[in-house]
Structure 1
Amino acid sequence: MARITANDLRDHVSLEKREEIDDGYGGVVGQWVPQFERNACILLSKGGETVIAARLQSVQPALIIVRYDAETATINAAWRLIETRSGTIYNIRTSADMERRSRFITMLCESGVAT
């Protein structure tokens, strides 16, 4: 992967975390709560198809890179990411500081799969 610079962070994304809220009947309901927004670099990979609920479903993997800070360091696979311009929802599969230099967080994400 080529070196990422501030100029490459052209996309705008919103990150959400699922929180469980009491439904008033003794159960809990999961609700996505926005956490913060960041500029990002979205690198789409070759897409494919997978079987979900006995149907073929298209899946679009992507590497999404954001700047490292105290908030982005808390991102994990329980979160999701929304590209604000197109509204595309990505499920985060992994999130790590790949360079181990506290500059960028790289997330392996997929769109087109169940959240």
Structure 2
Amino acid sequence: MRAGQLPERVRFEQRGLDRNGDRLGDWVADPAFETAAGFTWLRGGETAINARLQGVQPVVVRVRISQLLATVTTAFRVVDLATGDVFAIRSRILDRRARVLDFACDTGGTDG
């Protein structure tokens, strides 16, 4: 992957621990989870159109593979650092050959 193909900056956040040790607390912003990313907004197709009718925009967030990002699951969320937009992670797709990790996400799908 060449420089410039990931022009955005994002942060991956997860819920903090509550008093019982469960991940039900507030969202935690960890600077270690900030990285370069690229967005691919899904426009066509029945699924994308149906999602937009429900007020949700599907997007694929692409990042370079790293050991830290290998721990990211669907329990995390993605925050666009430039706009503050929040994306709920629906699934992750690993491409070892291209050394990238794609996260299928939705806008408007997470609570504040």
Provide the TM-score with structure 1 as the length reference. Answer: 0.77
RMSD: 2.3
Residue 105 (structure 2) pairs with residue 109 (structure 1):
yes
Higher strand share: 1
- CA distance in 1 between counterparts of 2:62 and 2:68 reads 14
Residue 27 (structure 2) pairs with residue 32 (structure 1):
yes
What do residues 63-102 of structure 1 show as CA deviations (whole Å, max 9, x unaligned)?
11001111111111000000011111000011231x2337
Structure (1 or 2) with the larger CA radius of gyration: 1
Give the gaps of 5 or more residues in structure 2: none
Higher helix share: 2
Structure 2 residue matching 1:113: 3-state secondary structure: coil
Residue 78 (structure 2) pairs with residue 67 (structure 1):
no
Structure 1 residue matching 2:25: 3-state secondary structure: strand
Residue correspondences, number: 103
After the TM superposition, list the runs of 4 or more consecutive aligned residues in structure 1 that deviate by more than 6 angstroms.
none
Q: 2:91 aligns with which of 91, 94, 113?
A: 94
| AA matched with 1:65 | R
Decide which moves more: 77-86 or 27-36: 27-36
